[in-house]
Amino acid sequence: MSISIRRLILVILGVIAGAAAWPLIELLLTFQRVFPSYFSFSLAQGIIFGAVLGAFYGSGEGLTSKEKGKILGGALTGIVTGIAGGVIGFLAGQAVLFLVIQYTFSSFRTHQYIVIPLARVLGWVILGVAVGASEGVRARSLKKCLVGAAGGGIGGILGGAAIEYLRAIYPDLIYARLVGFVLFGLFVGLFYSLLERRVSLGVVRVLNGGKRGKEYSFAQNRLSLGSAPRNDIVLEGYAGVAPRHASFRIRGKDVYIEKESDQGRVLVNEAPVRKSHLLKYEDVIQVGSAKIFYKTE
């Protein structure tokens, strides 16, 4: 799968995540009176919304790579980080609505047209940041976290603004909230993808075997290769590949391939690599029997 299709799938995941979260949130809202306080009510909203979005986004990597372990692990990590983001986002947003407004701006006019929408959008941004960062958390990559957070944040701004704008125009139209949710999911997925592309130093494409055609973006400082499922590029089914065979590493604007195992060989353009090798575009890297092509996006 090319990187473009992978990103398109992330956007689709965002859309269906928003669509799936909407009925649950609508259901929760009908139980507002059951909650003892606005605090617990906000917590519940954050947990449900964050968990649903986190599950869909988190499963994205595994879904596109067709690796069952990553689907489940990513979804679980996504749920955890999504819940964290949802809780923080909702409490922050609700706090701004109830608390900060009262202590900073005391004008209702400012509330109605600026502060309340901004406060809500702030909540969406925090939620988007947390959900966007979830894949980075799963991959244990700070850079990927930051890319995801920034993409999710921008998506959160636009998606959150869409929700607020639609609510303002159609306050009694229930489907306005659905459209808002879907746009939120779409924008988070879209801007995550766009930003990933912008910071990426290129992609690597597997040329042969079971992973033929699969592309991976350099949106993180390290991409590990090996036959074990914990690797970023899982080369299962290839001859001569060690569980943790090698890694692509970013140093500044340079990409290196580094050997991490003495068991197998690493070749770049058919020449053996002893420890580390600086890559240039169109280099062909061979890890065991797997061939990988380094190219621009």
CB 28 within 8 A of CB 46: no
Which of 218, 194, 192, 187 minimizes the C-alpha distance to 205?
218
Segment interacting with other proteins (CB under 8 A) among 115-123, 139-147, 150-158, 243-251: 115-123
Considering only residues 222 to 261 of the shown chain, the ones binding other proteins according to CB under 8 A are 237-240
- Least separation in angstroms between residue 142's CB and other proteins is 28
By beta-carbon proximity to other proteins, the closer residue of 143 and 177 is 177
Q: Is 5 in the site for other proteins (CB under 8 A)?
A: yes
Q: What is residue 239's three-state secondary structure?
A: coil
Sequence-distant (≥ 6) Cβ neighbours of residue 168 within 8 angstroms? 117
Considering only residues 142 to 171 of the shown chain, the ones binding other proteins according to CB under 8 A are 167, 171
How many residues lie near other proteins (CB under 8 A)?
A: 78
Sequence-distant (≥ 6) Cβ neighbours of residue 44 within 8 angstroms? 28, 35
Which of 57, 17, 27, 26 minimizes the C-alpha distance to 183?
17
By beta-carbon proximity to other proteins, the closer residue of 123 and 145 is 123
Q: Is 22 in the site for other proteins (CB under 8 A)?
A: yes
The residue whose two tokens read 């060690």 is 242
The residue whose two tokens read 């910071």 is 199
Considering only residues 184 to 203 of the shown chain, the ones binding other proteins according to CB under 8 A are none
According to DSSP, the residues that pair with 257 across neighbouring strands are 248, 277
Segment interacting with other proteins (CB under 8 A) among 172-180, 187-195, 217-225, 246-254: 172-180
Q: Using CB under 8 A, which of 3, 51, 54, 56 touches other proteins? A: 56
Segment interacting with other proteins (CB under 8 A) among 36-44, 136-144, 145-153, 246-254: 36-44
Q: Max CA-CA distance within the chain?
A: 71
Taking the C-alpha atoms of residue 68 and residue 199, their distance in angstroms, rounded to an integer, is: 28
Considering only residues 255 to 284 of the shown chain, the ones binding other proteins according to CB under 8 A are 269-270, 282-284
By beta-carbon proximity to other proteins, the closer residue of 38 and 249 is 38
- Least separation in angstroms between residue 234's CB and other proteins is 14
Binding mask 61-80 for other proteins (x = CB under 8 A): --x--x----x---------
- Least separation in angstroms between residue 146's CB and other proteins is 26
Which of 187, 97, 203, 179 minimizes the C-alpha distance to 150?
187
CA 287 to chain centre: 28
